[in-house]
Amino acid sequence: MTPVTWRSALLLSTALPAGLQAQLAPVPATQSVPETAKTADGQDIVVTGARLQAVREIEAKRQISVISDSISADEIGTLPDFGLGEALQRVPGVSTIQNNGRGEAQFLSIRGLNADYNLVQIDGVTLPANEIGRRNVSLDIIPSSLASRVEVYKSVTVAMNGNAIGGIANLRTRSAFDGKGEPFVGGRFDIGQWDFKRTRGNRAPSGQAELVASTTFGPDHKFGAVVSGSYFRRDSASLNSATDNYLYFDPTTGGRLLSPASDVSNAFAAPDRRRWLHYDNVRQRYGVFGKLEFDDHRIFKAAVTLADFRHINDEERQSNIVIANTAVTTATNRYTNFSNVTATSGNVSNANAQADLSSFYQTRRMRYADFNGELTPGDAVRLDFGLNYAIATYRQAARLATYRIPNTPNLAYRYGYTAGSFPYFDFANPSFVANAANYRQFEYGTNSDDNREEALTARINLDVNMDGKDRGFGIATEAYARFLDRRYDFQVDNYRNTTASALLLASVLASESYAPYNGRGQTVLLVDPTKARAAFDASRPSFAANTANAGGSLQSDYNLTEDVVAAYAMARYATDNVRLSAGIRYEGTTLTTGSNRLRSGTYVYGQQGQHYRDWLPSAQADWDISDRLRFRAAFSRTLGRPNYDDLAARETVNIGVTANNPDGGVSIVSGNPELRPRRSDNYDLSLEYYVNRDILFSAGAFQKDIADEIITTRNQTTEIFEGVSQLVTRIRPVNASGSRVRGVELNAVVARMRFLPGPLAGFGFSANLTLLDPTAPQVALSDGVTRRRLSGLFESSNTVANAKLFYTAGPVTVQGAWNHLSPILYSVSTSDPLQDRRYATSDLFDAQLRLKLDRQWTIVAQGKNLTNFRPQRMFGPGFGLLREEIDNGRSFYIGALVRC
């Protein structure tokens, strides 16, 4: 019997009788909050939209047994924002990481901590990841129609998965038995436009359509069914304006300064390249979900769920770059081709240029089947169990074509810039750089990524006297197992032109042109993909296959298995006002990775593995000081397992200027099979004041002591590679020293200001603020001895703020939402601190208008990124130099919510 077969048989033998991870104390379904309320004179008030959402969130926070916040569906049964990621940004202490900064929420950050610290679940089950390398579930693949509520647990118990240092976001799907189990049909549709429209291709409107339906049937309505479907389309463009690198000059002598050997804090910084990357994108998401339920309304209930989500990105990336000739005159230690350098300008007498096309067709898909059941043979005994099988895939087909001008004085230019802004290049001969006939083809090729992850999860849990309404002593125990198998394959087929090749950019130039907003009238040369492919096919004999193809198709591949077995025991004691619980969780992890590594000119396959065991205790106290005031305290120990790519002992080599290697030279990205998981001791306090069903104020404090922090280091040196001395950048994950994160969290929700006179009573708001005070980890520098403390936590924001103001007057609701993030460190260098990179401060503002026509129909208009915020990536002294600025533009949608 093979190991996979043995694992599967063992898992099925333990899971089929029972097995669902212990859940929190029961929480009323979202429909349990009434949609009507009484005024002082007995008249009905219909509670809808943002107000209903706020009321539900207050109720959920009060009922959930751990420190938490949530986002709830509205009266139509959908989340009120554009999508799942956008909705979660409104939750206190929650922010999202965008898809390559291009305006779509993808990864979840809880309390400012990066996505690797957090866990995303659906109905308590951790699903496999559908991204290359990372463990994270991409939020943009999950349709918002799936969720009746998303609960964000900020303190955890031993009943929860231990791989959650930051917290857990649990998406609860709709049940046919919500409320009274009456038939329900609801959904939304809208159509919209991004003001940054695609430059090429057939433009079409953006928009989405979602439908959710549920009903109960059969004798005594013991059976239930839920189905939902969704479609999303975004048709837009983005522009990444990149500087990539700066040179440093002595302001007195004009001589060359190199960091970190020289202090360049007061030097003149000169951009040595300017790059535009223009993206035309069509993103589409399809989702179907079905659940069949049984509830005998006495002792047994069960559900079978099937789901299939798919996200497709059809992307055309056009890049134009000009790079200064950075030759050095040794005798004077000066850059030969730079002159008249000041703090804001200078001249360059010699440079090279490149125009390239990269077309990507990406498909991310997630499918899962889930069975769970619950048996309650007595008032105080509950047995729940479940089995889940899920598959996540990522596939990408890419095609590239590159055209170059070698170093020439015809590309001489004068540059200028101000601190923190994108530089301008004014060419002495502007017609030369704009002439496509001057660019000769350098390469043409294709590559593909194929990533597949399967996970089989089983769980069985027994509770005795552990329900939220139970008093006295209670106990709970669980057995849990998750078997994961992941495989990644990369294929490359690249060709370089020979001396016989005379293919020019002019023959494949697209008919469209694009003028960047920061180009001072200059345009980006665009390559027509169809013409480029035809030209290559017609001239195949004048190209030679890249000798690195064979290695490129082997060096990135890996396979990985990760088996986690767990069990916990927990005890609880509850009175009418106090609830105490404590327990311990055991998790054993067996990890095996296999990959190819270059040894003496030959790629050799090898396997590495590790096994580690963890005991993870937790304790919680929950005290109702009064009917309105609640105090909570919690302690837990949790894990943060390394990303999959970080664990594979592979080495991926990129040569020249590429998207992953913008600095040129040689880039070597490697894994580290000896990485240890992060481990954290977490302390939480929370004070919550429930004024009434409409008003909540809460304050929290937390501390996380994290050991073995993981960061990705970038070491750039000149070394011998393939017999040639050249610039080599090595990128590798390492365990850094420990870090400590302290923070406070403030939250206020006012669903209705009844205390204000007249029409002003229609105002409501929610606002929250999370402040971190981290002690960042230390990292060893490239010499292996010297250590330096980082400027902040990796991919974390020290300040997260949200504010939403809404006003309801009769059938009209208006709301505006602001989201703020302080700078986020996203790349770290072990050779030069000035090469550390971070996102600049982020401020986003969205707005929405609702007009309720009747109980069935509501018209909705909304705008996103109304301030036209452009994310910036900074580096250099004091992070004062702009590396990239990303323009996504605003978007506007109009549509309707419907309920039958």
CB burial readout 198-234, b (16+ within 10 A) else e: bbbeebeebbbbbbbbbbbeeeebbbbebbbbbebbb
Do 1 and 8 form a contact (C-beta atoms < 8 A)? no
pLDDT of residue 51: 75
Q: What is the predicted pLDDT for the residue at 83?
A: 61
Beta strands in 331-380 (DSSP E): 334-335, 338-339, 345-348, 351-378
Over residues 119-141, the mean pLDDT reads 83
Query: How do residues 95-129 score in pLDDT, each as one tens digit?
Result: 777 666 666 777 888 886 777 788 888 898 888 88
Predicted confidence band of residue 2 (pLDDT cuts 50, 70, 90) = very low
Contact 262, 248 (CB under 8 A): yes
Q: What order do you get walking across the sheet with 268-271 strand by strand?
A: 256-257, 246-249, 268-271
pLDDT tier at 72, thresholds 50, 70, 90: confident
Q: Percent of the chain having pLDDT more than 90?
A: 54
pLDDT given for residue 34 in this prediction: 47
**Is 149 buried (19+), middle (13-18) or exposed (0-12) by CB count in 10 A?**
buried
- Rg over alpha carbons for the chain, rounded to the nearest Å, is 29
The answer to whether residues 844 and 824 touch, using CB atoms and an 8 Å cutoff, is: no
Looking at residue 337, its pLDDT comes to 97
Residues in the chain: 900
Alpha carbons 423 and 276: distance in angstroms, whole number: 12
If DSSP codes are grouped into helix, strand and coil, which group holds residue 145? Answer: helix
- Which 3 state secondary structure label does DSSP give 400? strand
Least confident interval from 225-229, 604-608, 670-674, 724-728: 724-728
Beta strand 824-829 with 710-721: parallel, antiparallel or unpaired? parallel
Q: What is the mean pLDDT of residues 373-400?
A: 93
What mean pLDDT, rounded, does the chain reach? 86
Which of 249, 231, 234 lies closest to 288 in space, CA to CA? 231
Q: In angstroms, rounded to a whole number, what is the distance separating the alpha carbons of residues 441 and 505?
A: 7
pLDDT at 32 exceeding the cut of 70 = no
Across the range 597-619, mean pLDDT stands at: 86
Q: With CA atoms as reference, report the closest residue to 80 among 816, 758, 884, 689.
A: 816
Alpha helices (H) in 539-574, listed in sequence order = 549-552
Residue 113: C-alpha distances to residues 109, 236, 298, 644, 825 (Å)? 5, 30, 43, 19, 11
Q: What's the burial of 796, exposed, middle or buried (CB within 10 Å: 0-12/13-18/19+)? A: buried
Under the banding of pLDDT at 50, 70 and 90, the label for residue 64 is confident
**Residue 143: predicted pLDDT:** 81
Q: Domains of the chain (ranges plus CATH)?
A: 3-899 (2.40.170.20)
Cβ(60)–Cβ(25) below 8 Å: no
User: CA dihedral defined by 336, 340, 343, 348, rounded to 10 degrees?
Assistant: -50
Does 33 score more than 50 pLDDT?
no
What's the pLDDT score for residue 159? 92
Evaluate the CA torsion angle 251, 256, 258, 262 in order and state its sign. Answer: negative
Q: Are 838 and 848 in contact (CB under 8 A)?
A: no
pLDDT at 664 exceeding the cut of 60: no
826-840, pLDDT tens digit by residue? 888 877 889 899 999
Calculate the CA 733 to chain-centre distance: 19
Least confident of 224-233, 513-522, 546-555: 546-555
Report d(CA 845, CA 323) in Å as an integer: 36
The answer to whether 644 and 134 are in contact (CB under 8 A) is yes
> Is the predicted pLDDT of residue 50 greater than 90, yes or no?
no
Segment 684-721, tens digit of pLDDT: 999 999 998 889 999 999 999 999 888 777 777 776 66
Q: Label residue 581 by pLDDT band (50, 70, 90).
A: very high
The letter for the amino acid at 682 is N
Q: How far apart are CA 665 and CA 709, in angstroms?
A: 29
DSSP state of 127: P
Q: What average pLDDT score do residues 369-395 get? A: 93
What's the average model confidence in pLDDT over 727-753? 85
Cα-to-chain-centroid distance, residue 433: 38
Residue 204 backbone dihedrals phi, psi, to 5 degrees:
-140, 155
Q: What pLDDT, on a 0 to 100 scale, did the predictor assign at position 655?
A: 64
- Residue listed under structure tokens 């994160």: 741
SS3 220: helix
Nearest Cα to Cα of residue 414 among 336, 338, 327: 338
What is the per-residue pLDDT across 153-162, written as a single tens digit (0 to 9) for each?
999 999 999 9
CA distance 696 to 136: 32
Cα 499 to the center of its chain, rounded Å: 45
Handedness of CA 62, 64, 69, 73 (dihedral sign): negative
User: Do residues 255 and 333 lie in contact, with contact meaning Cβ atoms separated by under 8 Å?
Assistant: yes
Measured between its terminal Cα atoms, the distance across the chain in Å is 54
Model confidence at 642: pLDDT above 60: yes
CA-to-CA dists, residue 883 to 104, 196, 737, 812, 872, angstroms:
21, 22, 28, 44, 8
- Of residues 142 and 707, the one with the higher pLDDT is 707
Tens of pLDDT along 207-238? 989 899 999 999 999 999 999 999 999 999 99
pLDDT of residue 49: 65
* pLDDT of res. 40: 42
State how beta strands 651-655 and 578-599 pair.
Answer: unpaired
Q: SS3 for 439?
A: coil
Two structure tokens written together for 268? 């003149």
Whole-number Å distance between alpha carbons of 454 and 130: 10
Mean pLDDT lowest for which of 43-52, 256-265, 355-364?
43-52
Average pLDDT in the 5-25 region?
Answer: 37
The predicted model gives 46-65 an average pLDDT of 76
Segment 419-442 shows an average pLDDT of 95
User: Looking at 225-229, 384-388, 530-534, 548-552, which range is the least confident one?
Assistant: 548-552
Look at residue 785 and tell me whether its pLDDT is greater than 70: no
Q: Tell me the average pLDDT across 263-281.
A: 94
More reliable by pLDDT, 412 or 126 = 412
